[in-house]
Chain A
């Protein structure tokens, strides 16, 4: 029997390398491969979070779904009653993907860009959530909202199509698009933001806090390429900013150590601020498998499964 790894999943639940997944052209197939593989590895019910425990009866009101009438009770009492269940109407789940130009970065020529990684995470989460009978929604943004699909139980194919079409935009910022999006979430939702978060931590947290109204639960997935964390450059060269095209000549050496310290400080600062705000935050390295993202999603989903 395999031992559990640090996250509590079995080693068999870890998936094939993202670069192998990249060869699967159909997003739906990819999502199915990842999600169902994950569930098998976890040995848990795929209906996790969708409890069907009976809660109570209430009188039928015009407009109620007649399929939910308890006909046996009707036979006994000659009156219409509706059966209500714990969490039988599932939550809204929306994925917001940052498609600013910096997300197109990949340190390896044949490697997966941050945007592709975000695309796969989003596809898996949406697929998984849809299987849970959640209403799924999606938005992509850079300096403004580019695509918005409102949450619906029927939008899986629409979202997968939009994810497939998703392209990098221009210079990105979090504040204005998230402010607009916050006006769109009218019901309590689980919102998953996937971005590389290249802004000052206080302004990032301020932007994301706009989404927290109406009791929304926020997950922030910070996607980074290994080169952005390790800075494995040796030769002096001009570094060019993908979004602003600004160039700075850099001689690596001690510079690399300082850079690594700064990015770790940035991540730690974000972790602290998000922790204080009650936002779930995690960093994802694009060279790692996707199950980490799913595991975190499941944990959050489980916390909310008892909501009626």
Chain B
């Protein structure tokens, strides 16, 4: 419905006047809070509100009459999409072509047939028809506005390429439903061109096409499709004769009904094929292939495992990056008069584990030199005073540039231990020792399981911190931007985090040996310490590969890759600034989207993305390996009619066909007579209102 004189609708603002008067004169009452009005609502009550409802009725009648008067002056008329006249039938169609471009469509000649099917749909368009071409994989993209121009539609179709993503039907069908819903044409159709993979539809999506719309499936699938895919690789590292060697194991699947015999599988590192072997995989089964170990080359090495080409070659290749073993370098500073074995538990616990390997160096504070700080990711003050002079300044700068500082308070950590540049490093002033050894020892009672340090322990039976007994600790009076991530049972902070510049300061208020507590001999100590070191030093894993569709933080990835080539994790001073350009596997140069915490880019293609700093030399590029989502390799299909039944309304209220010709003047006039009815309705309402209000007045007297 539309209006010939819509400006009259501004008069509706007059309705606000009585409402406003009512609101400001409303009776005010005392408010009683009650837990739930569940029972109060069920009781029919006599209250002031009920009397108000009678007045409200009158008020509603007046408002409605006024609204109808205003609407009559605005001259409403009905837009009819489909009306019978002259005996002609409106056959104009709104067509949405959904073209599946997931990588499984690369199977055999599926893609060619899909393009042909889309072409024939375009060729079948009538003069009044409109068509929207939507290409979809996991997300749909409308390639054009609805149009009847076959030339532009064919041009859009020619530009579509296969993607590296999986299939999801629901988003595409929702977009089609929206396009059809907005259409005013008589007939509405969706043409779905796909291989109808089962993985793309779980049957629980709430998608429904508008009433009267039809879905025509164009099924390109084959009943006996077979496909071999390399789904993942595992990289086992070992040190042999002082040199790191890696063993690559590939997992392959066969989703076909026939056995895949003697499939040739090759391992390539860099540009060189290292080994080639063959494997036989039973129908609907998986197999593994382990290649001979190879010495790890220097720096980053690109590798891939490739199975012999079959009908779907895209998933026959699995890319990965090989990097030397990752290490974190930690400097532990002890006081000059340290207890024997004061850092024993720390250094022993840090020496265990890999990914990353932690190399800890212990120094007495009296023997510290500037060189000790070089290349470190984390500095641990193990009950040692903060170094004064230039050394203290360097440690502070180290943290502000993104390094980590773990402060462990103990006997020697007196308030005077943190002065000068270290005065505001801690989240608050250090207090005097609290001795809980005389009564019942303290325990850790409250942990922030959402924090990265304790996230590991959040599940049931994932570590028991309450078994550790704390006989002494140093309280901290917190101030400023500090977060307490663990507390003792009396509420005093046990572990605190404070951001400082780009880095972090983590404070533990009791010792890391058995001097003040028994945490060091608890099973949770080792994972807790490793998590703390990783978090404080802002360490992130170097991922050997990503999956298409993931979002990459370019700056962080570049920093990790920069460190990975040379061994230890990047020290704060090596952290990078500036903007990046990313080259996709197909050679397209991409500018990352700026975000709060770096530059983001969506990994859309299979292969290796090159990360390059703007203005850097050509040789400074770093690569990220991207693989396909292997779920898409499973070519099991659903019955297209099942999909049609799920998204088509059960009781189709098919609109009747109408004319495509412009309406006659009589017809136009007929569509505009609504104002008469509105005026008559308003007059009737006002009459009824007069009678009702007179009766109410008499009753009130």
Binding site for B on A (CB under 8 A): 102-103, 105, 114, 150, 152, 154-155, 157-158, 161-162, 165, 184, 186, 196, 198-199, 225, 228, 233, 235-244, 246-251, 255, 258-259, 262-263, 266
Contacts and interface: CB of A to CB of B under 8 A. Distances in A.
B243 interface: no
Contacts of A259: 39-40, 43
B252 to A, nearest CB: 35
A153 B207 CA distance: 50
Nearest to A162: B446
Interface in B21-72: 29-43, 45-49
B389 interface: no
Contacts of B46: 251
Contacts of A243: 35-36
Contacts of A102: 35-36
B181 interface: no
The B interface is mostly helix, strand or loop, or mixed, namely loop
Contact of B466 (A154, A237, A249): A154
Given A157-B466, A250-B40, A262-B43, A150 B460 contact: yes
B368 interface: no
B40 A155 contact: no
B460 A184 contact: yes
Query: Interface centre among B34, B46, B489, by most A CB within 10 Å?
Result: B34
A251 to B, nearest CB: 5
A157 B39 CA distance: 39
B654 interface: no
Nearest to A243: B36
B47 A250 contact: yes
B49 A249 contact: yes
25 contacts: A105-B35, A155-B466, A157-B443, A157-B489, A158-B466, A158-B489, A161-B489, A165-B446, A236-B47, A237-B30, A237-B31, A238-B31, A239-B34, A240-B31, A240-B32, A242-B36, A244-B37, A247-B31, A248-B37, A249-B29, A249-B49, A251-B45, A251-B47, A259-B40, A263-B39
Nearest to A152: B464
A184 B458 CA distance: 12
Contacts of B491: 161
B467 interface: yes
10 closest Cβ pairs, A-B complex: A102-B35, A198-B36, A105-B35, A150-B460, A262-B39, A241-B37, A237-B30, A161-B445, A249-B49, A249-B47
B264 to A, nearest CB: 46
A196 B34 CA distance: 13
Contacts of B29: 236-238, 249
Interface residues of B, number: 30
Contacts of B37: 239, 241, 244, 246, 248
A130 B299 CA distance: 57
B121 to A, nearest CB: 46
Contacts of B446: 158, 161-162, 165
A224 B359 CA distance: 60
Nearest to A151: B460
Contacts of B701: none
Contacts, number: 101
Contact of B38 (A184, A198, A251): A198
A129 to B, nearest CB: 17
Contact of B467 (A114, A154, A266): A154
B47 A262 contact: no
Given A248-B40, A262-B39, A242 B464 contact: no
B461 interface: yes
Contact of B39 (A154, A249, A266): A266
A33 to B, nearest CB: 18
A274 B46 CA distance: 35
A228 B35 contact: yes
Contacts of A199: 38
Nearest to B449: A148
A130 to B, nearest CB: 13
B35 A196 contact: yes
B307 to A, nearest CB: 40
Contacts of B32: 233, 237-240
B47 A150 contact: no
A77 B46 CA distance: 86
Contacts of A255: 43, 45
Given A198-B38, A240-B33, A150 B461 contact: yes
Nearest to B461: A150
A241 B48 contact: no
Contacts of A150: 460-461
B459 to A, nearest CB: 9
A198 B42 CA distance: 13
Contacts of A244: 37
Interface string B234-254: 000000000000000000000
Interface in B482-500: 489, 491
Given A158-B466, A161-B446, A250-B45, A242 B33 contact: yes
B489 A258 contact: no
Contacts of B35: 102-103, 105, 114, 196, 198, 225, 228, 241-243
Nearest to A150: B460
B40 A154 contact: no
Interface in B570-626: none
Contacts of B41: 248
B33 A105 contact: yes
Interface string B105-145: 00000000000000000000000000000000000000000
B470 to A, nearest CB: 12
B300 to A, nearest CB: 43
A206 B38 CA distance: 19
A174 B182 CA distance: 41
A150 B463 CA distance: 11
Contacts of A246: 37
Nearest to B28: A238
A45 to B, nearest CB: 25
Contacts of A235: 30
Contacts of B464: 152, 154
Contacts of A266: 39
